[in-house]
Amino acid sequence: MPSTTRRRRGRRNSSRYYVNPRRDRALRIGRIVLVAVMGVVAVGLAVMAMYGDRILS
């Protein structure tokens, strides 16, 4: 998966970077936010799995 993303970005980068660098930054920020949200959800699920019975009872 990372290799295909890197290859695709490398092909698009030369034309897209000069045309719209703001969109590239927005996509990078969006990807970081997505990874952060997924990490928070994973931590939340792990906490619920460990302490869920104690919280619910």
Question: What is the DSSP secondary-structure string of 1-57?
Answer: -HHHHHHHHHHHHHHHHHH-HHHHHHHHHHHHHHHHHHHHHHHHHHHHHHHHHHHH-
The pLDDT of residue 57: 64
The pLDDT of residue 44: 92
Is-above-0.95 flag for pTM? no
The pLDDT of residue 50: 86
| Domains identified in the chain, total number | 1
The pLDDT of residue 36: 97
Question: pLDDT by residue for the chain (57 residues), tens digit each?
Answer: 455 554 555 555 555 556 667 777 888 899 999 999 999 999 999 988 888 777 676
Range(s) of the domain holding residue 32: 2-56
